């Protein structure tokens, strides 16, 4: 019988962390060996407050991180140095932090994984936007999240904009001119030339619309996560596959569609 995949959950007392603990516990092929957070929840797992202590004492194969950007970047480097493959769902890391994780992963030949969104439907939404982008010149994104989300735009919106820009191969999207503004910032921000609007309200979990416009028509692609459980199949898929990698992989699409890994 194959041994269980040993998982450490960073940010285990948070809402996403608790959902990860429940999902891993329910999976037949893996086990939570450490929950790392400043405070524990009522879940029956070994608890730690220090990342290095958790890795040294619990000896996990994979870490799953839903913390905050700076902590996630530090945790990933500590994990990789110890031969542990990090799966990172935390958004908002800087380019420099991602570059450092990539360098550590390549140097150590330890697989690492980052995804802006682990919901499989959201990944399909981004893929559909990428397919539409070369054919429709006007596009704007609206992302809607709960009021506790600390970064904007969301990692999903940023990644979607990047995919749209890449798919257009140097042809910028057409940004409708606005001659008069009576409220500053009302047209949202621009990410790689694509307009992005962020909504933060209680009652939302994670939602995004990609709206393309053309002469006499619009195309709207929307995804809604109505519970945090929607992210768990993707999280578990990444945990199962990250040890196969020898460097950093960004985006669940590489695992779902077996795309070439360019990152």
Q: Which residue numbers are catalytic?
A: 145, 149
Q: Which bin fits 74, alpha (ψ -120 to 50), beta or left (φ > 0)? A: alpha
Q: Backbone phi, then psi, for 236, in 5-degree steps?
A: -65, -35
% helix, strand, coil for the chain, step of 5: 35, 25, 40
Alpha-carbon distance of 228 to 246, in angstroms, equals 29
Cα distances (angstroms) measured from residue 91 to each of 88, 95, 117, 152, 208: 8, 11, 9, 10, 16
**Sheet harboring 206-214: ordered strands across?**
189-191, 194-200, 138-145, 206-214, 217-225
Burial 5-17 (b: 16+ CB within 10 A, else e): bbbbbbbbbbebb
Determine the Cα angle at 10 with ends 6 and 14, to 5°. 125
Judge residue 40's burial from the number of C-beta atoms within 10 Å of its C-beta, 0-12 exposed, 13-18 middle, 19 or more buried. middle
């Amino acid at each position: 019988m194959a041994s269980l995949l040993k998982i450490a959950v960073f940010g285990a007392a948070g809402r996403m962390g608790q959902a990860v603990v429940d999902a891993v516990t329910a999976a037949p092929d893996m086990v939570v060996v450490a929950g790392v957070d400043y405070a524990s929840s009522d879940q029956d797992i070994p608890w730690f407050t220090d990342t290095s202590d958790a890795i040294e004492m619990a000896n996990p194969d994979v870490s799953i991180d839903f913390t905050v950007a700076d902590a996630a970047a530090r945790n990933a480097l500590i994990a990789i140095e110890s031969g542990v493959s990090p799966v990172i769902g935390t958004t908002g890391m800087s380019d420099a932090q991602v570059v450092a994780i990539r360098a550590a992963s390549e140097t150590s030949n330890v697989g690492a994984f980052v995804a802006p969104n682990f919901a499989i439907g959201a990944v399909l939404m981004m893929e559909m936007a990428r397919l539409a982008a070369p054919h429709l010149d006007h596009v704007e994104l609206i992302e809607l999240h709960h009021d506790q989300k600390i970064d904007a735009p969301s990692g999903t919106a940023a990644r979607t904009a990047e995919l749209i820009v890449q798919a257009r191969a140097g042809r910028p999207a057409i940004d409708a001119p606005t001659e008069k503004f009576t409220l500053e910032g009302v047209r949202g921000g621009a990410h790689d030339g694509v307009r992005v609007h962020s909504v933060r309200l209680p009652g939302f979990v994670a939602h995004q619309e990609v709206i393309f416009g053309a002469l006499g028509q619009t195309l709207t692609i929307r995804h809604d996560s109505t519970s945090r459980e929607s992210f768990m199949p993707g999280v578990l898929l990444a945990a199962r596959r990250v040890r196969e990698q020898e460097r950093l992989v960004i985006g669940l699409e590489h695992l779902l569609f077996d795309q070439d890994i360019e990152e």
